[in-house]
Structure formats: structure tokens, C-alpha cells
Amino acid sequence: MLISGAGVAGIVCALALDKEKYDIEFVEKADSFRNIGFSIVLWKSGFELLRSLFLARDHVLHTNKDDYAVDKFVMFGGLKIKRLREFDARGFAWVFERQHLMEMLEAELAKTFPASAIRFGKTISDIRIKDGAPARVTFSDNSDAEYDLVIIAEGIYSMTRPLLFEERIISLPWRLLYGWFAKETNFLDHAGLFFTKGYVAVIHPPHVHNLLGFYFKKGAVEEDEHAFEKRVLQFVKGIRGEEISFDVKTSKLFDLREVHLDSYSKGNVVAIGDAAHGRPPTVGFGTTLAIEDALALARALNKLAPKDFAAQVAPRLASFSRVRSKRVEQIYRLQRLVHQCITDDALKVSLIAALSPIISRYFERKIKHFALYKLPGSI
Ligand SMILES: Cc1cc2nc3c(=O)[nH]c(=O)nc-3n(C[C@H](O)[C@H](O)[C@H](O)COP(=O)(O)OP(=O)(O)OC[C@H]3O[C@@H](n4cnc5c(N)ncnc54)[C@H](O)[C@@H]3O)c2cc1C
């Protein structure tokens, strides 16, 4: 079997697959593991699956060292930005520093697979499938090979996806700026959500460095951006109440896009994680969904009998795709509603702020419902 992409989805899937049944090879486009550092929220379903995966390998996750439990989300909004409401997130949300999460996953991978199982700096350049036959793959170094199963875990910018799947990519009219605060803030173990005219922002709460991420329209003027940062800094202070700043050196700018596929599988090839359904990180479900995909797929594949593997694999992948796409679309329907809050319309901003007790309660209920998801036993 081939896994293309050694990100969260690819590594989690490889760790959970039955090594007695599957010979796993990896290709990874980057020259080494791609551990971009920013913080990510994991909702309960993703966190618990991840924790169990580590636990099964005698690796215990330690809160306040490996992960940070979020105790509440505090919401701020309106034209002048006021504190509106807060909701309890205990037992629902955890924050990870992404680089640390990746390093823990990579260490587990290294315990299980020889270094030669992962080919860095190599990608798929062509892939051909035929009913009941292995997939024929040509690589960027002109080598080729056949695989009973190919898992595409290449993230949102997957290059293999368009070779096989009808993809619809929607480019969104906003950009996302991510950066760390220069030092410790008063958002110790809670997260912040901000919305105001033209901007929506989140503050992740790792105890030492908080991360601020905010969306704004493409083409927004820089002065507006600074004015927004200043307004956020009315509420975010150092731990002794002193003024702090946003560390511009660590800022990263992301363009935002949505990936839509009719099906995540085609014959004996399947896409998982952001390669299948990458979306902007507005509701923070990308990694949770990638982990769920990876484990749902591994569990389904581990049940296949080696006899007649070729006949069983395509229907199993199609079933995986049906179950997972329903889950993914439910979450992103809610996300589309959240995106309605990114607006330049002053009246709409005031209205949303006035109705925030009702609107935010609705979002809270939905998000908590999605966070409580359990992987179905049968795929
Ligand atoms: C700024 C930002 C903030 C985010 N915040 C959150 C959050 O709070 N909560 C959350 O859950 N999610 C968040 N996400 C989303 C989250 O990072 C992704 O959903 C998650 O990483 C998806 O995992 P993946 O394994 O599918 O893809 P990735 O993590 O992107 O991994 C893909 C891997 O494939 C490799 N690759 C790419 N192309 C090829 C190729 N052609 N051949 C071989 N290998 C290839 C890449 O180098 C990479 O190693 C955020 C994303 C961004 C950008």
C-alpha cells in the first residue's frame, strides 16, 4: 500500500493500520517532515481518538505539557467590540502546538517503520486505475510501481487529487493572518473569539504563547488591520495587566480555499483529511476530521480479509466515503453560517451583536454536538 503525504492524516492512518496485513510505503513531497508551527484546536472526538492511539502505544499525553485544555471561549463583538458572552468548553476542546503534535506522531512512526519506508522529496506524477487491478503509479523520479491501495493524504494542495478526481476548488474572498503574541497574556486557559466590521478572529490559549488568527477581506487596507489589532489589544493584556504586542515577525498569511469532491474514493484510491475536504479553519475541525478519517479508514481496512482483497477494497472505500462525507458536510454547513459574520455591513454587525445570546447559544450547541461524535462501528 502507498500513503502519499506524511501529515497528520497519513501518519495517524499508518500507525493504526494492521502491520501484519499491510506493507506500507510513504512518499512525502517535502524534504523532511513539514512541521509548520502554529496552534490548533482539537475537539473532543479528535482528541480522544488521538489520545487512545497514543495510549495503545504506551505514550500518555500530559495536559499542560503536550496539550492544553480550553476551559471556556469568551466572545467579543459588535462595532465597538464589547465582551458579549462566554461558553464553557471544559471536556470539549484542547489546544496543541502543531509542531509538538507532529513531532510526537513522527516519533511513533519512527518506532514502527524503518526510515526507508518514507521517501522524502518524492511525489506521484501519474496514477492509473483499472477495476480489480492494482493502481499503477509513476513517481516524480520516473520510477513506477503497483499498489493494491493508495491513500492520498497530501493536504489541501494535493497534486494527485486532480489526476483522478473531479475536484471543485472554491477560492474564498478573505485571507487569514496567524501570529503569536509577543509574550504571555491574560488569556491563560481560555480562548477568545472576536467579530467586528470586516474581521473575525480567534485567540488560542496555550499558556505561554497565545496565538491570534484573524480573517479579513482580500485587499483590506493595512491601517484597518492595525486598528483591528489595537482593538483586540484592549482586551488582551500581559499577565500583570501590562500592554503587550502582536509579534509581526511570526505572522503568516494564508489564502483560504475550499475543496469539494463528489466522492473521496475512486476504485482502490482514497483521499483523506484536507486532501478530501480541506476548508478554512474557522470552526477548528480540520485536524479532528483528519484524525477521524484516518482511524475510520484504518479500522475498515483492518477488517478486510486478505483473500479477495481486490474485490473488497473498492466497495469498502466507497462506503468510507459515504459515511465520512456526511459527517464533513454537516460540520461545514455550520461553518458557512459562521462565515456570514465576516461582513463590512455595519448594520449586520450590530444586529449579530444584539442577537449574540441566541446565535452563540445555537453555535455552542451545534459545535458540542459535533464534538461528541463517535466513529461508527461499520464502514
Ligand atoms: C492557519 C491554520 C490554522 C489551522 N487551525 C486549525 C485548528 O485550530 N484546528 C484544526 O483542527 N485544524 C486547523 N487547521 C487545519 C489543519 O492544519 C488541517 O486540517 C490538518 O493539518 C489536515 O491534515 P492533513 O494530514 O490532511 O494535511 P496536512 O497536515 O496538510 O499534511 C499533508 C502532508 O502531505 C504533504 N504533501 C503535500 N503535497 C504532496 C504531494 N503531492 N505528494 C506527497 N506529499 C504531499 C505535505 O508536505 C504534508 O506533509 C489549520 C490550518 C491552518 C493553515
User: 132-186: per-residue pLDDT in tens?
Assistant: 899 999 999 999 999 999 999 999 999 999 999 999 999 999 999 988 888 888 9
For cell 491570534, the residue is 212
Per-residue pLDDT, averaged over 241-257, amounts to 88
φ/ψ of 139, rounded to 5, equals -105, 170
CA 249 to CA 230: how far, in whole Å?
Answer: 17
Q: Which residue has the least CA distance to atom 23 on ligand 1?
A: 8
Q: Which residue has the least CA distance to atom 48 on ligand 1?
A: 7
Q: Which residue has the least CA distance to atom 51 on ligand 1?
A: 281
pLDDT at 208 over 70: no
CA 153 to CA 359: how far, in whole Å?
Answer: 35
pLDDT at 211: 85
Find the range with the poorest average confidence among 79-93, 121-135, 191-205, 209-223: 209-223
Q: Which residue has the least CA distance to atom 1 on ligand 1?
A: 178
Q: Which domains does the chain have, with CATH numbers?
A: 2-371 (3.50.50.60)
For residue 5, the CA-to-ligand 1 centroid distance in Å is: 10
Please give the number of the atom of ligand 1 that sits closest to the Cα of 12. 25
pLDDT at 225: 83
Residues with CB under 6 A from ligand 1: 4-10, 27-30, 34, 38, 40-41, 123, 153-155, 157-160, 176, 178, 254, 273-275, 281, 284-288, 290
Task: Name every residue whose Cβ is closer than 8 Å to that of residue 314 and which is 6 or more positions away in sequence.
Answer: 131, 265, 267, 268
CA 40 to CA 289: how far, in whole Å?
Answer: 13
Which among 36, 49, 154, 157 is the best mutation to test ligand 1's pocket, defined by most ligand atoms within 8 Å of the CB?
A: 154
CA 146 to CA 129: how far, in whole Å?
Answer: 10
pLDDT at 207: 63
* Helical ranges in the chain per DSSP H: 8-16, 44-55, 98-112, 161-164, 222-232, 274-277, 286-302, 309-339, 346-354, 356-371
Q: Which residue has the least CA distance to atom 3 on ligand 1?
A: 281
Per-residue pLDDT, averaged over 306-314, amounts to 90
3-state secondary structure of 65: coil
Please give the number of the atom of ligand 1 that sits closest to the Cα of 284. 9
Please give the number of the atom of ligand 1 that sits closest to the Cα of 213. 1
pLDDT at 105 over 80: yes
3-state secondary structure of 258: strand
282 and 338 Cβ atoms separated by less than 8 Å: yes
For residue 9, the CA-to-ligand 1 centroid distance in Å is: 8
Per-residue pLDDT, averaged over 106-120, amounts to 96
pLDDT per residue over 17-31, tens digit each?
A: 999 999 999 999 999
For residue 137, the CA-to-ligand 1 centroid distance in Å is: 23
Q: Which residue has the least CA distance to atom 19 on ligand 1?
A: 286
The pTM for the full model equals: 0.96
Q: What does the mean pLDDT of the chain come to? A: 94
For residue 278, the CA-to-ligand 1 centroid distance in Å is: 8
95 and 40 Cβ atoms separated by less than 8 Å: yes
CA 76 to CA 282: how far, in whole Å?
Answer: 16
pLDDT at 93 over 90: yes
Question: Which is nearest to 42 in space by CA: 63, 15, 59, 17?
Answer: 63
28 and 5 Cβ atoms separated by less than 8 Å: yes
pLDDT at 157: 97
Per-residue pLDDT, averaged over 83-111, amounts to 95
260 and 340 Cβ atoms separated by less than 8 Å: no
pLDDT at 191: 92
